[in-house]
Amino acid sequence: MSTEAVKRKSRKIVDLLIWIIGLVIVAGGLIVVGIHFYVSNSKPTIEGEVIVSILDDDVMVTRDGTGVPHIEANSDADLYRAQGYVQAQDRLFQMDLARRQASGTLAEVVGESAVESDKFFRTFSLRNAAEKSWEGYNENSKQILQWYAEGVNAFINEVKGTSKLSYEFKLLGYEPEEWTPIDSLTIGKYMAYDLGGNWSLQAFNHWALQNFTEEQVKELIINYPEDAKTIIEANLENPIEVAGAFNTDLLPNEFNGSNNWVVSGERTESGKPLLADDPHLGLGTPSIWYQMHLQSPEQNVSGVIFPGVPGIILGHNEKIAWGVTNVGPDVQDLYIETPNPDNPTQFKYDGKWEQAEVRKEPIKIKGGKTIDYEVVVTRHGPVISDFVFEEEQPTAVFSMQWTALESTQELQAVIGYNKASNWEEFEKALEDFKAPAQNFVFASTDGTIAYKANGNIPIRKAGDGQFPVPGDSSEYGWEGYIPYEELPTVINPEEGYIVTANNKIIGDEYPYHITNYWAPPYRYERIVEMIESVKKGQTDEDGEVIEGLTVGDMQGMQSDKKNLQAEEFLPHILTSIKKMDSEGKYEDIVKLLEEWELFDNKDEGAPLVFNLLMTEIQDTLFEDAMPEDVYEMMPGKFQITDQLLRDAYAGNEGVWVSEAGGVDELVYHSFETTIAEITKKYGAKVSKWTWGSYNKLTFDHPLSGVSEYLATYLNPEKLSVGGSKVTVQAASEDGEGNVNHGASWRFVADLSDLSSAYHMVAPGQSGHVKSKWYDNQISNWVYGRYHETNIDGDLNTKYELQLKAE
């Protein structure tokens, strides 16, 4: 073949390859366009008219410029129906996933990978507790739950079997089932699980007694009960498997907390109270909260609610505003149960064998066979440790008693206080809010500020909720709850403010036990410091009279990043480093820390060193001493670490610090490890280090773990952010720098004008990836920006959707 022929053939081959590549690109482009078109087609209708046949009358839904739906109805019946319909428009997949996780039915749509989760939540009996609670609701509340369910189902029926059904259902290959009132109550029980529990603390302490010396255990128990000899002996004599027995991925986040505070008119520029709230929960896409404004002739209320639930749980109406933080009381107890060797569903109690309830809980699996599963329930509660007797029958198991497994009517409280106009009406409504226990702060237009730690908090016959107790004796157990009128309450305090940040809320004189595991006081103390720094009526440095606190001040406080943990420990840590680093190897890093003004700002390097160092000290002390899952269960790790350091620097080195070589060796070794890791990741140039290069605000979608493509498509971009787990702007990261826990909602209300309030709900209002409100509030989270939501009809941007009654 001639040279020219070879060239011609080569050109033809190249042309063919170009054509094939072009075809692939075009086909790929068409696929991408098709996917985008398909996904976009399921965006909710937000303008025009839609027939919703269940309505008695027409309802107007107006979405403002941030996607907040303002629902105006002529009756409460239509208001709650429309609320269900609108929530389903924006969040139906999230709602369905939430009810399935809490009910233990994820495997039906996900497959084998969800079986362990389903077993866990079937055992924890959230749906069973919701069914019990339904019976205790009054007829009005039952009717509201039913109206809400009618609205959700109206939307499901409208989109089911069409391309308008949210794309996530198509990805998983199923359609949503009918919504029921029990689904809403089950989601409420899940929030009680997420916010109120200490069973894992007791399981860890049980394990620690078996594996550590008495001296070691005492240092791990925040308030070691010297008079609990009988309970400790019962734990030692009845070892129950803890390591490898529980899925720690399903445990609530250790840092589920919040900030809230209220200041009286004596301290504000307007002369009326200001209220601020920012609950700290898991950060994901979509948000755990859904913001709404509900208006009928009977109410005008605005704020946030969990998708899948009616009403407004946090927010304000025309007369009052309120917010919550988690009390974190000990509301779960583990019992060491003794099974009958001849019948493992019977358990010893006061010398007799009692038959337990055995609940059949078959678990359906997508693409697989249904698993026969049973939940065994003793007089105290469900058996939560391994209940497998195929080879060897255990001599003891754990059962769990929990306030949320009883019949409780939180939604009844929400419905009641949504319509309250003063503290008396609000407090009366709170009587039904029993699980989870919450610190409510309150303000009203009449100038009242108030606080109540609300919920069922058990009174124990013996023990203080730190260790499992014998289940075979009537000498243990609960004898009721702290009386409602004796729960911690404050009304119009002399200092003119009330602050809670999961800190200790009671004095030593309080007659009842609540918990020993309060959050460290860093956030609380910083909030108080900022409030008290504004002296209304005094003159500032420029000779100007201070007018008092403003909305802007409250918003600024919610984004405050001062690290009071560093204020306490950094001087001691620097002393240890200098003592051990006699050659000045780390002189530049020491200087960086010495010059730090103690704010965890994203553009500074010192927060990177300090925060990673504190975690490394904790890991150095404990991580190698126990199995990985037990370490995950360990309660209050960083509080315990702080106390061990505090004691050591005061001259009282304990056994854990001593075994690490003493406080100076512990700190210096951890410091060297920390610096080596930072250098490996960010280079040796200290001036280039920043906290924000590691600390990234993260909002992952629940389906993003399926593939990298879905993660890229569904997860909003990660942004550098300041703050840490100890600052008022809570930004707790997962150990890999992913800030996936913090302020899930920020809220400020000025009681001088409740026609509006200020909000931030990140990543955004919509659960639909193609909506402009999907992730539009993430930068607001980072930079402390808010949107103002009106309840008087004055909306600047309007997307009007009329829900037409047939």
How would residue 227 be classed by pLDDT, with cut points 50, 70 and 90?
A: confident
Helix/strand/coil for 628: helix
Whether the per-residue pLDDT at 24 is higher than 50: the answer is: no
CA atoms of 598 and 724, how far apart (whole Å): 12
Residues 6+ positions from 515 with CB-CB distance below 8 Å: 198, 327, 328, 329, 330, 465
Q: Which among 517, 559, 577 has a CA at the least distance from the CA of 724?
A: 559
Residue 720 bridge partners (DSSP): 696
272: which DSSP letter? S
Whether the per-residue pLDDT at 52 is higher than 70: the answer is: yes
**Average pLDDT of the segment spanning 439-451:** 98
CA atoms of 350 and 473, how far apart (whole Å): 5
The pLDDT mean for the chain works out to 93
What is the enclosing helix (H) or strand (E) of 237? helix 229-237
CA atoms of 741 and 761, how far apart (whole Å): 13
Q: What integer pLDDT is reported at residue 7 of this predicted model?
A: 44
Whether the per-residue pLDDT at 30 is higher than 50: the answer is: no
Whether the per-residue pLDDT at 50 is higher than 80: the answer is: yes
- Give one word for 329, left, alpha or beta, with left for phi > 0 and alpha for psi -120 to 50: beta
CA atoms of 423 and 450, how far apart (whole Å): 8
Helix/strand/coil for 61: strand
Of the chain, the percentage scoring pLDDT greater than 90 comes to 86
Range with the poorest average pLDDT among 210-219, 539-548, 576-585: 539-548
Q: Which among 654, 346, 585, 596 has a CA at the least distance from the CA of 472?
A: 346
Whether the per-residue pLDDT at 14 is higher than 50: the answer is: no
CA atoms of 87 and 286, how far apart (whole Å): 12
**Average pLDDT of the segment spanning 128-144:** 98
Range with the poorest average pLDDT among 241-255, 290-304, 387-401, 453-467: 387-401
- Residue 772: alpha-carbon gap to chain centroid: 25
**Average pLDDT of the segment spanning 589-616:** 98
Q: What integer pLDDT is reported at residue 22 of this predicted model?
A: 45
Whether the per-residue pLDDT at 225 is higher than 80: the answer is: yes
Instruction: Name the token pair of 458.
Output: 């058990």
What is the enclosing helix (H) or strand (E) of 553? helix 551-558
Range with the poorest average pLDDT among 6-10, 110-114, 367-371, 662-666: 6-10
Instruction: Name the token pair of 260.
Output: 């809230």
45: which DSSP letter? P
How would residue 34 be classed by pLDDT, with cut points 50, 70 and 90?
A: low
Known binding site for Ca(2+): residues? 330, 333
Instruction: Name the token pair of 795.
Output: 């909306």
In angstroms, the Cα distances linking 729 to 286, 362, 522, 722 are 20, 44, 12, 8
Q: Which among 28, 45, 31 has a CA at the least distance from the CA of 162?
A: 45
> Letter for the amino acid at 444?
S
Higher pLDDT, 188 or 806: 188
How would residue 83 be classed by pLDDT, with cut points 50, 70 and 90?
A: very high
Higher pLDDT, 226 or 353: 353
Whether the per-residue pLDDT at 59 is higher than 70: the answer is: yes
The dihedral formed by the CA atoms of 505, 494, 535 and 537, expressed in degrees to the nearest 10: 160
Q: Where are the alpha helices (DSSP H) in 409-545?
A: 410-418, 423-430, 522-533
Whether the per-residue pLDDT at 363 is higher than 50: the answer is: yes
Query: Which one is catalytic: 258, 264, 287, 704?
Result: 258
Q: What integer pLDDT is reported at residue 23 of this predicted model?
A: 46
Whether the per-residue pLDDT at 11 is higher than 80: the answer is: no
565: which DSSP letter? H
Question: By the 8 A CB rule, do 285 and 746 touch?
Answer: no
Indicate the angle between helix axes 637-649 and 663-682, nearest 10 degrees: 130
Kindly give the pairing relationship between strand 357-360 and strand 314-316: unpaired
Indicate the angle between helix axes 522-533 and 551-558, nearest 10 degrees: 150
**Average pLDDT of the segment spanning 224-253:** 91
CA atoms of 160 and 179, how far apart (whole Å): 13
CA 561-565-567 angle, 5° bins: 85
CA atoms of 128 and 130, how far apart (whole Å): 5
DSSP secondary structure, 635-651, as one string: TTHHHHHHHHHHHHHTT
- Is the bond into 763 cis (omega within 30 degrees of 0)? yes
For residue 198, report the phi and psi dihedrals to the nearest 5 degrees: -140, 15
Known binding site: residues? 330, 333
Number of Cβ atoms within 10 Å of the Cβ of 35: 12
* Entry pTM: 0.94
- Residue 31: alpha-carbon gap to chain centroid: 38
Q: What integer pLDDT is reported at residue 707 of this predicted model?
A: 84
CA atoms of 331 and 436, how far apart (whole Å): 9
pLDDT in tens, 617-645: 999 999 999 999 999 999 889 899 999 99
**Average pLDDT of the segment spanning 99-121:** 96
Active-site residue flag, 10: no
How would residue 27 be classed by pLDDT, with cut points 50, 70 and 90?
A: very low
CA atoms of 157 and 86, how far apart (whole Å): 14
Whether the per-residue pLDDT at 475 is higher than 90: the answer is: yes
Instruction: Name the token pair of 570.
Output: 């950094």
Question: By the 8 A CB rule, do 255 and 280 touch?
Answer: yes
User: Residues, the chain, total?
Assistant: 806
Residues 6+ positions from 745 with CB-CB distance below 8 Å: 277, 278, 279, 287, 289, 291, 304, 314, 759, 760, 761
Residues 6+ positions from 160 with CB-CB distance below 8 Å: 175, 176
Whether the per-residue pLDDT at 376 is higher than 60: the answer is: yes
Q: What integer pLDDT is reported at residue 48 of this predicted model?
A: 96
The dihedral formed by the CA atoms of 278, 281, 287 and 293, expressed in degrees to the nearest 10: -40
**Average pLDDT of the segment spanning 564-592:** 97
**Average pLDDT of the segment spanning 38-48:** 88
How would residue 38 be classed by pLDDT, with cut points 50, 70 and 90?
A: low
Helix/strand/coil for 537: coil
Q: Where are the alpha helices (DSSP H) in 300-409?
A: none
Question: By the 8 A CB rule, do 792 and 39 touch?
Answer: no
pLDDT in tens, 520-570: 999 999 999 999 999 988 888 888 888 999 999 999 999 999 999 999 999
CA atoms of 61 and 684, how far apart (whole Å): 56
